[in-house]
Structure 1
Amino acid sequence: MDKYKRTLFGLMLSSFIVNLGFGAIMPFLSIYSSLFFYPIDLGFIIIREVTQIGLLTSAMMISRAFLAPFYGRMSDKEGRKAIIVVGLGLYVILTFGFGLATSFYALFAVRFVQGIASALVWPVAESAVVDVSKEEKRGRNLGWFMMSMTLGWSIGPFLSSVLIWFAKLFVSSQIKAFQFTFFMMGGLSFIGFVIFNILVIDPKTDKARMSIREIWHAVVLVIKTTFNLSNLGIPSFLRPSFWKERTVSLRAIFIMAFSNGFGFAMVFPIFSLFFYQFYNLSEEFIGTIFGIVGLIGVIFNPIGGWVSDRTNKKVVVLFTGLFSGILMGFAGFKFSIFVIIGLFTARQIVQQMNMPSFRALQADLVEPEKRGLEFGNVQMFFNTGSILGPILGGILYDKFSEQDFSFIGLQAFGVEYLFLITSLLAIIATIVLIIFVKKRDFVVSKLKETKEEYGFIVSE
């Protein structure tokens, strides 16, 4: 196995294992939290339980949004592996942290630090996949990488359902059953950390294993970057120069990322709670639903990448994003649980096709030496939307969850308002894509024009 294939395999395997651990935790976080959360009275406002659950998502996205570009730029200079290793190590600690945290404030802190780990790992890892991929295989390889993530998220709920059921045979409360599951996932995350360090070759040093001294050096570097006060000034995207320096197409990608993040984060934190409260499903059954739907959808990750490589990335992103939003718009109607699962599955399929296509499209719009930075910026906009979405989602869930209504002749739960807003945002993102993303801004097109003009091969 050559070093590029080995690195790609190592990235995918470690991604699968880490996401397996967090896939076992995140779908149940709202149910777990509801077991010990209570309304917090701040005097001028009462923060109810569902809003607190939304704030947990916002906590992660706050740190991830503003740190992703810094870590992306750091990876452009220092190398991808050192940055990812620190993030994966932090993930190991955090997985145990979920089991130890039994209050809103403790879980908020864990989620905030999880955002730092996420900013260290995922945008940098996506850049690493692009780095080791030929241009004509970017979509496919990103599809396989997305599949490894989604496969972990899909099998994770199955695994946690089994562990929760097993734990209930020996422990006296639901909280302890969840904690047992979280601690087991901590051990799994450590395995992912070790595999990454052994398999993935750092192009900067051309070797795989990092010594303890090298890992410590990377930790110190990340800490200095994170707490460098100069990083805490005016966010870069609020400066006019940020927008002037980028193409119209890349600006559109940023707006789409914000819209997608807002819509996704508004509904995802409460999905399991929605099944739990409105359909009276058990934790184990909810985990099974998430697992089955995820496994069906995961098949379409590489298919989405393959199709985008051989057709038109913009068109693939357009149709999959639009259909994903439309399907989500029907999730809150009073259909049978089997119809809801069918809608959920169909939406997962098109969304999984969208993910590698969208990454491949943004890769085509960015110069190789700026991939870490711009992938981090895309994550920043997605996460900024994800900061605001859960807060609004929690407020709307509290306000409308008991106010059923009729829409286009169909009976709907009050939470359908959230799903309709998500659908509208997907339509807006599609319009932005159609109008503003232009082929003239593709880096690949510019390279080909340069080759034709000067008659020689331009290195990527």
Structure 2
Amino acid sequence: MSATKSSTLFGTDRRVIALGVARMADAMGNSFLIVVLPLYIASGSVSGELFGFSESLITGLVLGLYGLVSSAFQPFAGRLSDKAGKRRSFVILGLVLFMFANFSYVLADSYEILFVIRAAQGIAAALTITASIALVSEVSRTETRGENMGVYNSFRLIGFGAGPLLSGILVEAGPYPVPYIGEINGFIASFCVAGFMALISGLLVSIMVSDPEETEPSTEKMVFRVTSDSPDYTLDPIFALGLATFIMSTGFALLASIEPQINERLSQGAFIFSIQFSALVGMLALVQPFVGRLSDRYGRKVFIVAGLIGLVPITLAQGLSTESWHLITTRALQGISAAMVFAPALALAGDLTKAGQEGAQLSVLTVSFGIGISFGAFISGFAIRFGFIAPFAIGAALAALGAILVQTQVPKKPDD
């Protein structure tokens, strides 16, 4: 696929940077809620009963609903943008829906309303994620697609990582005096900031991003394949790349549900744990553009396989940590290995995808990433009963399986 020529900034297509910055602001605003919503529910601002569930269970359901709805809708949203041939419109529509949903939390006073708003955010994410990743692929040439995917993902991850920190500061520093309104507490301030970030993202995309001239509505029937048409492979290569992405993201969340056990084992507090958790995201955001550029020059598959192989000892070493710095170091190394998988996998999937099917086909990887995050938290929460190393041993075994899958089931380039 060829891309329409466009002006560049620091050697990267301006549209890719604009989409990345827009997704950074959007991800920052949405990740605000990871910290704010549990505190908001616990503060008594939300009332009611929901099937007799405990407050902690309701909080978990509210937080998890976003990913569930987003993952369920992404293939349909991607297919709709393929049929329309208008990626930019879908990105803007998703960001506008995000904006209204974020502002709506100010009015939420019952659990039922929280669920409706969170579901709306999941739909908004499905529209934005699939259309924006397809647009990045379409505006990229084959020789720049890896770098562009890395730049886009890095901006998004920076926003996701910064959001919880900023929201915590906003909540603790409130209340705030507002002219003509009076004082507002930290919760309302966070919801308003999240809404304004989505608004800014939408304006940025509408002003700086355009669809490539060659993008046309797709009339081809879309089939999501598991098996390959080629006699050389058993699995469809995009499905295999989706499995590799799922395995990589499973390792992201292994710490999420076992924080108490980690803190007890390493004799540390919540602040050190947050550093350990964020070390992966920070390193992933830093390294992805460079790995993406190298994959454009030397090939994608070699980086994906090497990254998955690297995850085997790195993930296992986390389960052997006896000092806080051990886990910080291994999480940072995990971020480097994950970067070797993520951007090249998206770029290779873009290389393999037929024109006009980017939205639906690339959603295989974006959905896999989201499901992997949820699966990782579940696996670690279940397996920790068998010993501290158990969740990490499972993650390492999955990484080894992923390396074998990519090596045997994914071609180096479309014509292989």
TM-score range (shorter-chain normalised) is: 0.7 to 0.9
- Counterparts of 1:423 and 1:34 in 2: how far apart (Å)? 36
In structure 2, the CA distance between the partners of 1:304 and 1:30, relative to structure 1 (3 Å rule), is farther
Which ranges in structure 1 are unaligned for 5 or more consecutive residues? 171-175, 207-234, 406-411, 447-460
Q: Percent identity?
A: 22
Instruction: Report what 1:377 is aligned to.
Output: 364
| CA distance, structure 1, for counterparts of residue 144 and residue 161 of structure 2 | 25
- Which of 424, 436, 439 in structure 1 is aligned with 2:409? 436
Q: Deviations over 1:342-374 (max 9, x none)?
A: 222222232234321111121222122222221
> Which residue of the partner structure matches residue 7 of structure 1?
15
Per the alignment, residue 130 of structure 1 pairs with: 137
SS in 1 for 2:356: helix
Q: CA deviation at 1:52?
A: 5.7
Let me know the Cα RMSD of the aligned residues: 4.0
Tell me, yes or no, if the aligned pair for 1:7 and 1:199 is still in contact at 8 Å: yes
Over 3 Å counting, the alpha-carbon distance change for 1:273 and 1:251 in structure 2 is same
> Retained in 1: the 8 A contact 2:346–2:365?
no
Q: Which amino acid aligns with 1:336?
A: E
Distance of 1:438 and 1:334 partners within structure 2:
37
Deviations 1:391-428 (A, max 9, x none): 5555x28xx5xx684xxxxxx4xxx5333333322222
Deviation at 1:383, TM superposition (A): 4.1
AA partner of residue 322 (structure 2): F
Which stretch shifts more, 318-327 or 295-304? 318-327
Q: Hey, what does 2:92 align to over in structure 1?
A: 85
Aligned residues, how many?
Answer: 387
Query: Which residue of structure 1 lines up, in the alignment, with residue 162 of structure 2?
Result: 155
Please list, as runs of the form range in 1=range in 2, the aligned pairs for 1:309-328 lying within 5 A after superposition. 309-324=296-311, 326-328=313-315
More helix per residue: 1
SS at match of 1:270: coil
Alignment check: 8 A CA contact 1:64 1:116 kept: yes
Q: Work out the CA distance in 2 between the residues paired with 1:349 and 1:30.
A: 31
Paired with 1:19 and 1:152, the residues of 2 have a C-alpha distance of 5
Paired with 1:429 and 1:135, the residues of 2 have a C-alpha distance of: 24
* 8 Å Cα contact 1:130/1:363 also seen in 2: yes
List gaps (5 residues or longer) in structure 2. 178-184, 216-221
Mapped partners of 1:302, 1:311: distance in 2: 14
Matches for 1:357-376 after TM superposition, within 5 Å: 357-376=344-363
Corresponding position of 2:75:
69
CA–CA distance in structure 2, aligned partners of residues 374 and 93 of structure 1: 29
Q: Is the counterpart of residue 423 in structure 1 residue 396 in structure 2?
A: yes
Aligned equivalent of 1:190: 199
- The offset of 1:338, in angstroms, is 2.8
Q: Distance in 1 between matches of 2:207 and 2:226?
A: 38
**2:309, 2:106 → 1: CA distance?**
38
Q: Secondary structure at the match of 1:134?
A: coil
Query: 307-316 vs 268-277, which deviates more?
Result: 268-277
Contact 2:154 2:286 (8 Å CA) reproduced: yes
Q: Which moved more, 1:367-376 or 1:15-24?
A: 15-24
Give 1:178-327 correspondences, 5 Å limit. Answer: 180-203=189-212, 243=227, 248-260=236-248, 263-264=250-251, 267=254, 269-270=256-257, 281-282=269-270, 294-324=281-311, 326-327=313-314
Q: TM-score normalized by structure 2? A: 0.76
Q: Given residue 77 of structure 2, which amino acid in structure 1 is its aligned partner?
A: Y
Equivalent of 1:113, from 117, 120, 125?
120
1:30–1:272 CA contact under 8 A, matched in 2:
no
Partner of 1:212: none
